[in-house]
Amino acid sequence: ISIFRKWGCIAMIKLNPYTEEARLLLVQQVQMQMSEARFEHVLGVEQSAIALAKRYGYSVEKASIAALTHDYAKERSADEFRFIIENKGFDLNLLRWGNAIWHGLVGAYFVEHELGITDHDILEAIRLHTTGAPQMSLLSKIIYVADYIEPGRDFPGVEEARRLAVLDLDQAVAFETKQTLQYLIGKNVPIYPKTIETYNQWVAKHS
Ligand code: GDP
Ligand code: FE
Ligand code: FE
């Protein structure tokens, strides 16, 4: 498994039709990219994303694929991310950030080019899953919220987030955005501008 990962010899999987077998192949590709604990998180996000897809009338298949791949690149090295940012047309200001911001925004590049997933909604959901955005598709909201409320999460506010997610997805996005920003400010870490844009759109009251 480590040889495959190191050499990037990863087979493109045929996900259309998204059969049980196709899903299992994708699960394997994802599993070999990460620790046991992170893989468990990913399966939890899939479970929550499928529940939200059913609740809000979205494709269960696309929710599953996006959830399974949202943290695909999270354990890639900083050097690997820097290489892609510098050589594949990304905004070079990204170089001043780190894994937290890269693994979704740049991680979608690995998902597209290693797994052969080209669906624009799925790639957008991966790109936006950490910071959110002022405008989000239904799938992007589902993945953003599912990542926060999956069964393995345990932090103050998660119960309220789960309650809101079933009640009103937009309210759940707003709640998560506010909680995350408060948490980051509490840690004195730099706030990525898109995170602030998300806050301004979803939380701030304009006067
Ligand atoms: P995970 O990949 O499942 O752990 O969850 P996320 O992708 O949502 O978040 C990854 C990390 O990025 C978490 O530790 C967040 O707190 C952090 N994060 C989210 N937004 C920002 C931001 O604007 N700035 C910084 N520095 N970190 C952020
Ligand atoms: Fe993530
Ligand atoms: Fe995640």
Q: Which atom of ligand 1 is closest in space to residue 183's alpha carbon?
A: 16
Number of other CB atoms surrounding residue 67 within 10 Å? 31
Whole-model pTM? 0.96
Query: For atom 11 of ligand 1, which residue has the closest CA?
Result: 100
Query: For atom 24 of ligand 1, which residue has the closest CA?
Result: 191
> Do you know the residue count of the chain?
207
Q: Which residues line ligand 1 (CB under 6 A)?
A: 41, 71, 74, 100, 104, 129-131, 147, 180, 184, 189-192, 195
In Å, the largest CA–CA distance within the chain is 57
25 contacts: CB under 8 Å, gap ≥ 6: 13
pLDDT in tens, 21-51: 999 999 999 999 999 999 999 999 999 999 9
Please check whether residue 125 is in contact with residue 117, taking contact to mean a CB–CB distance below 8 angstroms. no
Query: For atom 18 of ligand 1, which residue has the closest CA?
Result: 100
C-alpha span between 204 and 122 (Å, rounded):
28
Question: 125: part of which helix (H) or strand (E)?
Answer: helix 120-128
The residue-averaged pLDDT of 131-150 equals 99
Compute the Cα dihedral for 187, 141, 95, 6 and give only its sign.
Answer: positive
How many percent of the chain have pLDDT more than 90? 92
Q: Ligand 1 center to residue 56 CA distance, Å?
A: 25
Task: Collect residues with CB below 5 Å from ion ligand 2.
Answer: 71
Number of other CB atoms surrounding residue 138 within 10 Å? 18
pLDDT in tens, 63-98: 999 999 999 999 999 999 999 999 999 999 999 999
Number of other CB atoms surrounding residue 57 within 10 Å? 7
